[in-house]
Amino acid sequence: MQIASIETLSCDAGWRNYHFVKLMTESGITGWSEYDEGFGSPGVGTVITQLSERVIGQDVENHERIYADLYACTRPAASGVVAQGLGAIENALLDATAKHLGVPCYVLLGGKIREAIRVYWSHCATWRISHPDFYPPAVQTLDDVKALGSEVLDKGFTGLKTNMFVYENGEVSGWGPGFSKPFFPELTVDRKLLLNISAHLEAFRDGAGPDM
């Protein structure tokens, strides 16, 4: 089952774009995967587009061989953005192969190990602070954080993950110097930051309860 085409697609997701790989076989099966260019990974789509030329015409079921070939031809830069591009192509290959065989994709990876998985609310409060137009209601105070904690509990989540924020002079701002937000080479954690982290987590605990 030969690969007929590989293309990258993107869609508007508000404050950033979502990116996908669409792999078509000559028999009409479509393999999908996703990748990201919105946070520290510019150029992944270019990697995929250039490497796709080596993949067209090959058998989609030879995904391990294809990956090994792509890894070998990118060895001088075999990490970072290149690795993300390879991963996106590989995932599309696996998706198409599983559809061709009529099995879930996990069968190709050695089988499933659980029937269900616990989920948590990721970046809780983060997007409501940084992008309130897309993720209302806005979080601007510790009382808002407490209310969000109650919302997380009411929606049935048993866990949440948040980020570091500083509440000062009636405003709230994120703190992530390791990701250049803001950029401080020393990555110093001072007492003000520790107090803000503590207050942020206490507000979540007050809203979400002791078992979150």
Kindly state whether residues 169 and 82 are assigned to the same domain. Answer: no
Place of tokens 């499933």: 112
Kindly state whether residues 83 and 37 are assigned to the same domain. Answer: yes
Kindly state whether residues 60 and 10 are assigned to the same domain. Answer: yes
DSSP string for residues in the chain: -BEEEEEEEEEE-SSSEEEEEEEEETTS-EEEEEE--SSS-TTHHHHHHHHHHHHTTSBTT-HHHHHHHHHHHTGGG-SHHHHHHHHHHHHHHHHHHHHHHTS-HHHHTT--S-S-----BTTTTHHHHH-TTTSPSP--SHHHHHHHHHHHHHTT-S-B----EEEETTEEEE-BGGGTBT--TT----HHHHHHHHHHHHHHHHHH-TT-
Kindly state whether residues 85 and 143 are assigned to the same domain. Answer: no
pLDDT in tens, 140-172: 999 999 999 999 999 999 999 999 999 999 899
pLDDT in tens, 12-51: 988 889 999 999 999 999 999 999 998 778 999 999 999 9
Residue 119 lies in a domain: no
pLDDT in tens, 67-106: 999 999 999 998 999 999 999 999 999 999 999 999 999 9
Place of tokens 């089988």: 111
How many domains would you assign to the chain?
2
- Domain containing residue 13: 3-108
Residue 113 lies in a domain: no
